[in-house]
Structure 1
Amino acid sequence: MNRRSLIAALAAAPALAALDAALFGSPALAADLYASNAALYFDPALVEGVDYGRRSRRHLVDDQNPAARAGLVRTTVIAPHGGGIEGGTSELCLAVAGYHPADLAPVPAAGPVHDFWMFEGLRPSNNSALHVTSTHCDDTVARAMCAGSLNVLSLHGCTAAQAGLEAGARAVLVGGLDPAFRQYLMEEFATAGIRAVTASGEEEIAGISPDNICNRSLLGKGAQLEMTTELRAAMFADGKNTRADRAANTLPLFWSFVGAARTAIQRLEATQPVL
């Protein structure tokens, strides 16, 4: 059996997770079919552009003038489970990065804009099978972008039960290893009237592993936002919370959330010297 087949077999058999860890360094979550993005990309049954897609933007940094220092893009915004996997996170990723999700026009026009990367489920159904947990995200572009950024903000979706909250809760859990980033996010969400809770407990929700893609920044720390299903649903017009319709049917709550996240990023970047 080759390595690809063995990875698929291990991912499909949670009871063998310990063997997976011994062979490849990190166990696959029982809920994940694929042990990594690489395992997913190597699956011949999947077609990029049909089953899944990847989008990213790295902004040009042209620093050729010895008399002046070019501005650097300090922050990368990511959505590892976009499209139909964790609905609404693709649209939020684009908007927090500074682009309208419907037409990619800069919003606000004066900026600033941030780098972004996302992995999206494109299937009409069963996109959850494409979920790769954040500690196993090994997409080479995602890792390179995060490793070259001072700050990473990772956007996710969860249920109220997964968040440890009461049924129907509209809330965002704020996690990751960057305490200053977490503080600014909590404060800005509070100002915007959005319920924010400090993430704790289960590692994937709290985002506290150094292996989590949100913490693979130049500084070894970042922030992770887990938004409940109800919060994300309230960001889009009734009947329009689908992958095809969300981008053009955002509600004021969507933009309040985006504004709070962007302000937190600006506050964080203002504390960081030019390196």
Structure 2
Amino acid sequence: MHFDSKNKKGMPMKKAVFVLGSLLAFTFSNIPSVSAAEDVYANYEELAAHHQLGEDYDITTQSRSNDVIILGIHGGRIETGTSEIVKAVAQDDHSYYLFEANIFVDSNQDGRNDLHVTSTHFDEPTAIKMTAQKNKVVSIHGAAGSSEKIVYMGGLNTHMKNIISDKLSQAGFRVEPAPPELAGTSPNNICNKGRTLKGVQLEITRGLRDVLRADTEEGRAQLAKFAGAIRAGISASLSHPDGRTYDFGSSNFSYGFWLNDGKEFYLTGDDYLIGVQSPVNPKQTGKIRFEVYDRNNRLVLSKTDEAVGHTTFKHTLSGLATGYYKIKVVNVSGNASWIYGGLHY
């Protein structure tokens, strides 16, 4: 579940009581009840310093060559039932990533597992790298609402989100647009860190998750139907709904490489490069430059991004005269790095 902190402003008591009552009446009748509590840990590094992998939590992955990944960053005892849904959707043919808590720690006394790191701060290196390689990213989360059976749809990939929503509705599940605090529209949300920087986030209420995880014939049938609808939506969606794209990537490079083995692209000033990059050691600085050369092997455009750890990039080719060009990716920092992205042209 993704939370955004809210600031409180003082007001006269009588007015505050009236306004609060009105807001609560509206809120509870329209959106799921969520806690505004802050995470105990700001990122994965902090969590890992206090908890033991393999004991307090597990990370499980499945890698496949297609362009799909199913994420479950709040699995196990964090958002109950999401692990089962992730595996049911992924089956044997889609990649998946699961972070699962084996313990429940609640120092805040608010029913929130301390091993919860919100989607915009979740930066476990394996999760980031696996996600960066895929065009279709679907992140499974749990929302509050024990008496409600609703799927709240969010994320920046509106093309795939709409198709999955339709498939779920056709299968008989109640689907609604996610409220702002569950919308998954932040570019920092891990669901939006695939090659296209656009993913889909499903927030599933506790009531529906309880149905889907029930170890009964009906529960298994409902889970199969639910997962099948999501899989059908993924399959029906396009990897590149915004047009033609050349996907590129390297899992580990220290110098440089040519896109498309140095073959030319026909480019215009409206084209762009987009994706995710990171040093293999996320504590190091990564500086990667894109060099655009014309048919005379003359450097005509250079675009660079630098950051400590992983970062997303979008380089427009504005100012480039329409024509044929080659593009080279250069590791300026020299620190072993990975990069995954697409040339939209």
Q: TM-score w.r.t. structure 2 length? A: 0.56
Equivalent residue number for residue 34 of structure 1? 41
**2:209 is aligned with 1:232:** yes
Match for residue 154 of structure 2 among 134, 151, 175? 175
Q: Structure 1, residues 143-170: CA drift from partner, whole Å, max 9, x if none?
A: 001111111100000112xxxxxx7110
More strand by share: 2
What SS does the aligned partner of 2:212 have?
coil
Against the structure 1 CA distance between its residues 175 and 87, is the aligned structure 2 distance closer, same or farther, given a 3 Å change threshold? same
- Superposition pairs of residues 86-165 of structure 1, within 5 angstroms: 86-98=79-91, 106=92, 113-123=93-103, 126=106, 128-160=113-145
How much does 1:119 deviate?
0.4
Equivalent residue number for residue 259 of structure 2? none
Q: Which moved more, 1:265-274 or 1:178-187?
A: 265-274
**What amino acid is aligned across from residue 142 of structure 1 in structure 2?**
A
**What amino acid is aligned across from residue 116 of structure 1 in structure 2?**
Y
**2:261 is aligned with 1:256:** no
How much does 1:37 deviate?
1.1
Q: How far apart, CA to CA, are the structure 1 residues paired with 2:197 and 2:213? A: 34
Q: How far apart, CA to CA, are the structure 1 residues paired with 2:239 and 2:118? A: 31
Q: How far apart, CA to CA, are the structure 2 residues paired with 1:49 and 1:209? A: 31
Q: How far apart, CA to CA, are the structure 2 residues paired with 1:262 and 1:158? A: 21
**What amino acid is aligned across from residue 41 of structure 1 in structure 2?**
A
Structure 2 spans left out of the alignment, 5+ residues: 1-5, 8-35, 107-111, 247-345
Q: Structure 1, residues 110-158: CA drift from partner, whole Å, max 9, x if none?
A: xxx1111010010166571100000001111110011111111000001
Equivalent residue number for residue 76 of structure 1? 69
Against the structure 1 CA distance between its residues 140 and 186, is the aligned structure 2 distance closer, same or farther, given a 3 Å change threshold? same
Contact 1:152 1:214 in 2 (8 A): yes
Against the structure 1 CA distance between its residues 144 and 271, is the aligned structure 2 distance closer, same or farther, given a 3 Å change threshold? closer
More helix by share: 1
How much does 1:31 deviate?
2.7
Contact 1:74 1:269 in 2 (8 A): no
Q: Which moved more, 1:186-195 or 1:116-125?
A: 116-125
**2:43 is aligned with 1:50:** no
Against the structure 1 CA distance between its residues 200 and 125, is the aligned structure 2 distance closer, same or farther, given a 3 Å change threshold? closer
Bigger Cα Rg? 2
Contact 2:67 2:239 in 1 (8 A): no
**What amino acid is aligned across from residue 34 of structure 1 in structure 2?**
Y
Q: Which has the higher contact order (CA 8 A, sep 6+)?
A: 1
Q: How far apart, CA to CA, are the structure 2 residues paired with 1:124 and 1:196? A: 29
Contact 1:173 1:198 in 2 (8 A): yes
Q: How far apart, CA to CA, are the structure 1 residues paired with 2:98 and 2:89? A: 13
**What amino acid is aligned across from residue 230 of structure 1 in structure 2?**
G
What SS does the aligned partner of 2:113 have?
helix
How much does 1:30 deviate?
3.9
Q: How far apart, CA to CA, are the structure 2 residues paired with 1:249 and 1:274? A: 43
What SS does the aligned partner of 1:142 have?
helix
Structure 1 spans left out of the alignment, 5+ residues: 1-13, 16-28, 60-71, 99-105, 107-112, 161-166, 241-245
Contact 2:84 2:213 in 1 (8 A): no
**What amino acid is aligned across from residue 143 of structure 1 in structure 2?**
I
Equivalent residue number for residue 341 of structure 2? none
How much does 1:57 deviate?
1.5
Against the structure 1 CA distance between its residues 115 and 30, is the aligned structure 2 distance closer, same or farther, given a 3 Å change threshold? same
**2:192 is aligned with 1:215:** yes
